Each structure stands twice: as structure tokens, then as C-alpha cells.
Amino acid sequence: MKIAIIIGSTRPGRLGESVANWVAAQAANRAGADYELVDLADFNLTLLAEPTVPGAANKQYENPQTREWSKVVDSYDGYVFVTPEYNHGVPAALKNAFDLLGSEWSDKALGLVGYGAAGGVRAIEQWRVIAANLRLIAVRDQVSLSLFNDFGPNGFDPDARHAADLAGELDQLEQLSRALHTVRTGE
């Protein structure tokens, strides 16, 4: 199983990179899947630049950045979205990256690690609804990181309990990713 840890913010000075690196470090010694960092900032995705609706495009896109993004997303069995919460919602960069594609996300598993003033919980809940529309199935457990308790003057410093929360979430993610792999491939 291959699982992408997607950094959901492209903002200069973003906190998501340090959170994603922590997720990757926690996942590094797990035997159930190979985890890889995927940084949205590396793709220079344009805002809904495809003339064909992704659900009807059959993975055939005109924009080279969209084609590259499609190949990357399609190559994974599951995802961890490291998502900030901006103004009580999901970040535009990650929402656009999601909306650019269609079936690449389908019948796969999603884990959510949120951060924000309220732990990113509103963005996490919105992602559950958004993802379900394309049959990207979110696991029950989540990690919610508080800007006030898990970040300090020296940067990201998560409370120790979050490692156990993440381990439980990744257990669920790996199990669901395996099951959905069978759904997608029959293997």
C-alpha cells in the first residue's frame, strides 16, 4: 500500500509542512504501508483550469500540471490530508487540488490531520462531506492540533497524546486502504 501525506497549504510561512513532517516521521516505521510526502506547492495548480468537468474527463486533462497531479494522486491507495482551517473552512489550495480531479480519488481511504485555532475540526468535518462525494472514504479517527497548545515560540511541538491518536488513525487508514484496494482491483 502507498499512502500520500498531502500538505494542504501552499501559503508562505505555512505550518502544514512541519505537521506533515511529523506525520511522516510517525509513519516511517509502520509496516502496513509506505508513506510519502506530497507538497501541493510543488505542482503550481491553476484554479479549475480544465475545460471538461473532472467527472467526465476520464483522467484526460489538457493542462500539463493537472495531468501530472492526476498521475501522482492516482498512484496512491490512500491519503492523509494535512489540512489547516482557514476562516472556519477548508483551504482553497487543497480544495482546488481535490476539485481538479475525479475518479483518481474514488474508492480510496482518507485520514485527516487538522490544525487551527479550534484544532482544525471544522475543516476536518467539511472534508468528510466533500470527500464522500467522490467515494473517498474518511476513517473515523482524526488528529486535531491546536494553534494554542501544539505550536509554540519554537514552532510545532505537539502534545504527546497526538502520537497515539495518529497511530490509531493510521491503523484504520491502512486497514481501509487494503479493503478498498480489493474493491478497485479485485485482488
Q: Where are the domains of the chain?
A: 2-185
CATH classification code of 2-185: 3.40.50.360
CA distance 71 to 64: 11
CA distance 134 to 55: 9
Q: Which grid coordinates belong to 68? A: 501530472
pTM listed for this prediction: 0.97
Q: pLDDT tens track of the chain, all 187 residues?
A: 999 999 999 999 999 999 999 999 999 999 999 999 999 999 999 998 899 999 999 999 999 999 999 999 999 999 999 999 999 999 999 999 999 999 999 999 999 999 999 999 999 999 999 999 999 999 999 999 999 999 999 999 999 999 999 999 999 999 999 999 999 998 8
Q: Which residues contact residue 167 at a Cβ distance below 8 angstroms, ignoring those fewer than 6 apart?
A: 26
